[in-house]
């Protein structure tokens, strides 16, 4: 009979709350930046502006939800740490937006960051406190819609986007691995293992690349850039 290991986590221990102050901040900052990114994407894709404004609105409500998770545990999020954590990815998005590179912006936000969110939230749900679990379950459903938006747009524009997607993947996938390594210890304290995060991320990202139109061979080659972080 399969055994489910009983997980006992002391959500009020100083160790837990200290790790939570950084992970919670990352999620809050990530949701805020996702909001900003979808607003910017809306300006770059006028025919999708309303759609993207809807996604942005969801990100803002995710941010509020995760702020309430921190308050519920009486944790003060370390926002300075979180801004530093996202700075490379944030800069790359900003540069791409300035250059009008909508494909790169979509790869960063709608593929890479959404897959990161999907992996993190799915791994968090079984080890979250009851309050945070309910919120995260609702949030993760939206993140699949955000990923789907990016997939659909890139699929419809695949031939014209392919080269830019490969370049953007090469530039940004290693950053995700560095970010994962940076939070691995804190994630472990929350009951989330790095191996599981990597696995879920790669499954979601590989599936997304496949849905967009990349071959298995392309996906293998593109995924390998994660390994050289
Ligand atoms: O689209 C979104 O809502 C994404 C911004 C949110 C990113 C969340 C990043 C989660 C990383 C947490 C790492 C914990 C191990
Ligand atoms: Fe979100
Ligand atoms: Fe999202």
Contacts (Cβ under 8 Å, ≥6 apart) of 166: 218, 222
Token pair 């996938």 is found at 173
pLDDT at 194 over 90: yes
Question: How far does residue 92's CA lie from ligand 3's centre (Å)?
Answer: 18
User: What value does the mean pLDDT take over residues 39-53?
Assistant: 98
Give the separation between CA 98 and CA 104, rounded to whole angstroms. Answer: 11
Question: Model confidence at 8, in pLDDT bands (50, 70, 90)?
Answer: confident
Tokens describing residue 174: 């290693």
| Helix boundaries (H) for the chain | 14-44, 49-72, 79-98, 102-106, 114-124, 130-156, 158-189, 194-212, 216-223
pLDDT at 175 over 60: yes
Q: Report which ligand 1 atom has the smallest distance to the Cα of 59.
A: 3
pLDDT at 1 over 60: no
pLDDT at 225 over 90: no
Give the separation between CA 146 and CA 37, rounded to whole angstroms. Answer: 12
pLDDT at position 6, please? 64
Q: Confirm whether pTM is higher than 0.90.
A: yes
Q: Which residues line ligand 1 (CB under 6 A)?
A: 23, 26-27, 30-31, 34, 59, 62, 113-114, 116-117, 120, 143, 146, 183, 187, 192, 197
Q: Residue of the nearest CA to atom 14 in ligand 1? A: 120
Please state, for a pLDDT cut of 70, what percent of the chain lies above it.
96
Ramachandran angles phi, psi of 8, nearest 5°: -115, 115
**Residue 172: which of 97, 83, 88, 99 has the closest Cα?**
88
pLDDT at 17 over 70: yes
Name residues with Cβ closer than 5 Å to ligand 2, which is an ion: 31, 59, 62
Pocket test for ligand 1, best of 34, 142, 204 (most atoms within 8 A of CB): 34
Burial of 104 (0-12, 13-18, 19+ CB in 10 A): buried
Token pair 């139109």 is found at 213
Question: How far does residue 10's CA lie from ligand 2's centre (Å)?
Answer: 26
- If residue 101 lies in a helix (H) or strand (E), which one and from where to where? none
pLDDT at 141 over 70: yes
User: What value does the mean pLDDT take over residues 30-53?
Assistant: 98
Give the separation between CA 47 and CA 29, rounded to whole angstroms. Answer: 28
pLDDT at position 4, please? 62
Question: Model confidence at 127, in pLDDT bands (50, 70, 90)?
Answer: very high
């Amino acid at each position: 009979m399969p055994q489910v290991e009983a997980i006992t986590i002391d959500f009020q221990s100083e160790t837990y709350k200290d790790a939570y102050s950084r992970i919670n901040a990352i999620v809050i900052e990530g949701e805020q930046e996702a909001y900003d990114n979808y607003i910017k994407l809306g300006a770059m894709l006028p025919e999708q502006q309303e759609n993207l404004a809807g996604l942005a609105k969801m990100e803002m409500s995710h941010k509020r939800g995760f702020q309430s998770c921190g308050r519920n545990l009486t944790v003060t999020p370390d926002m300075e740490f979180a801004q530093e954590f996202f700075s490379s990815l944030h800069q790359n998005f900003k540069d791409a937006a300035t250059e009008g590179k909508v494909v790169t912006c979509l790869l960063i936000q709608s593929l890479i960051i959404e897959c990161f969110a999907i992996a993190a939230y799915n791994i968090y749900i079984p080890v979250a406190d009851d309050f945070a679990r309910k919120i995260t379950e609702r949030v993760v459903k939206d993140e699949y819609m955000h990923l789907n938006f990016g997939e659909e747009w890139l699929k419809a524009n695949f031939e014209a986007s392919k080269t830019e997607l490969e370049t953007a993947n090469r530039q940004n996938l290693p950053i995700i691995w560095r970010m994962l390594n940076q939070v691995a210890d804190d994630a472990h304290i929350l009951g989330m293992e790095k191996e599981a995060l990597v696995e879920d991320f790669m499954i979601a990202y590989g599936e997304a690349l496949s849905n967009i139109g990349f071959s298995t061979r392309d996906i293998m080659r593109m995924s390998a850039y994660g390994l050289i972080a």
